[in-house]
A = this chain, B = another copy of it.
Amino acid sequence: MSIFEDKKTKNTPVSELGEFGLIDYLTKPFKNNNKNTIKGVGDDAAVIELSKDQYRLLSTDMLVEGVHFDLSYTPLKHLGYKAVSVNVSDICAMNGKASQITFSIAVSNRFSIEALEELYSGIKLACENYKIDLVGGDTTSSTSGLVISVSVLGEVEKQKISYRNGAKINDLVVVTGDLGAAYLGLQILKREKEIFLSNPGVQPDLHGNDYALQRQLKTEARSNFVKVLDDLNIVPTSMIDISDGLTSEILHLSKHSDVGITIYEDKLPIDYTTMNLAKDLNLNPIFCALNGGEDYELLFTISQSHYEKLKKDVDFTIIGHVTDKKEGNNFITKDSTSHPITAQGWDPLISS
């Protein structure tokens, strides 16, 4: 409803472009006016000239109740921690160090001061862990749910910045930590919510699933691994954080770098508790590792010359290599068959 005359324009649904297509489409007409803007939209963070040797990094993320989180199983303290972590993770993905954040919230009047204190206690804990400063924000009313918007500033030495677009043919593809657990943690929480809804007297049975639940609820940015890479004198040729799932991020790196990427099923780092839990839940652990998302591990490529330095470190797993673009993006299963990686991810239940 508008009091102004209807312009009779077309009404194309946003779903026709998808999130990344939409951002590309909407921001394409923009030109930069400042010579200190090095990189705008299109990577994990914007890059701005800071000094002769350093870049300033800036990134922002929005978290919407009912879309990104469900307060029936997300404690507010964990939510505050996570909102900071996912932003710090974007700075890590540029091989940088986060330094300041702003934290804005729109809240309806169903939130009490005590509830917001819980949220802020999580923010504070994250600020202490990542050694960053809360320097601003906005607090406003919301007509419905809770909306969080965080912006983060960081820094990186110019020589050490890792964009998405630097992967070279024959580079090794590396992932930190392990994959799939955050997704399984979410499945447990959803299951317990269903049980609770049909019988509110029952307390949730979360026993024995600590690791998966922690991975889902207490999201950590991998700033420690950025430091390890620095100590090892390794600058990734390209890097991204795994928010939407490994296959989705593989596609981003290969597209931006104009290369192909091949990864191997038998190399995927999956924790044994993840393996067991997936079995309990009748899910394929490989599917969870490839498409689960929210692990916030780092995915990056390095020159083969760094192989010796990384191979001994259990926190880093070489899962594949970079190929010529014409080979495409491929997932090699244990039986040595090759499956193309598509935007829909790779679903072993469908394709094998």
List chain A positions with a Cβ less than 8 A from chain B.
1-5, 9-17, 19, 22-23, 25-27, 29-30, 32-34, 36-37, 39-41, 45-46, 48, 50-51, 56, 58-62, 64-68, 71-73, 75, 99-100, 102, 104-107, 109, 111-117, 120, 124, 127-128, 131-145, 147, 149, 151, 153, 189, 192-193, 196, 203-204
Contacts and interface: CB of A to CB of B under 8 A. Distances in A.
Contact of A138 (B26, B62, B115): B62
**Total copies of the chain:** 2
A181 to B, nearest CB: 20
A218 B249 CA distance: 40
Given A72-B2, A134-B27, A19 B140 contact: yes
Contacts of A136: 40-41, 45-46, 58-60
Contacts of A32: 133
Contacts of A5: 203
Question: Which A-B residue pairs are the 8 nearest by beta carbons?
Answer: A46-B135, A149-B149, A151-B151, A40-B135, A11-B112, A66-B143, A12-B113, A60-B102
Nearest to A90: B136
Given A116-B22, A204-B4, A140 B30 contact: no
A37 B330 CA distance: 45
A64 B27 contact: no
B106 A64 contact: yes
A132 B34 contact: yes
Nearest to A23: B139
B112 A60 contact: no
Nearest to A97: B34
Given A3-B196, A133-B32, A106 B62 contact: yes
Contacts of A66: 143
Q: Which of A30, A114, A189 has the most CB of B within 10 A?
A: A30
A72 B37 contact: no
A29 B80 CA distance: 15
Contact of A15 (B11, B109, B147): B109
A151 B29 contact: no
B102 A58 contact: yes
Contact of A104 (B39, B62, B189): B62
Contacts of A11: 112, 114-115
20 contacts: A2-B75, A3-B192, A3-B196, A3-B204, A12-B112, A14-B111, A26-B120, A27-B137, A33-B128, A33-B132, A37-B100, A37-B133, A37-B135, A46-B135, A60-B102, A60-B136, A65-B143, A68-B140, A104-B149, A106-B147
A26 B142 contact: no
Given A112-B13, A120-B26, A64 B143 contact: yes
Given A30-B127, A67-B142, A68-B140, 15 more contacts: A3-B189, A15-B109, A19-B140, A23-B137, A33-B127, A33-B131, A33-B133, A34-B100, A36-B99, A40-B136, A48-B99, A56-B56, A58-B100, A59-B102, A67-B143
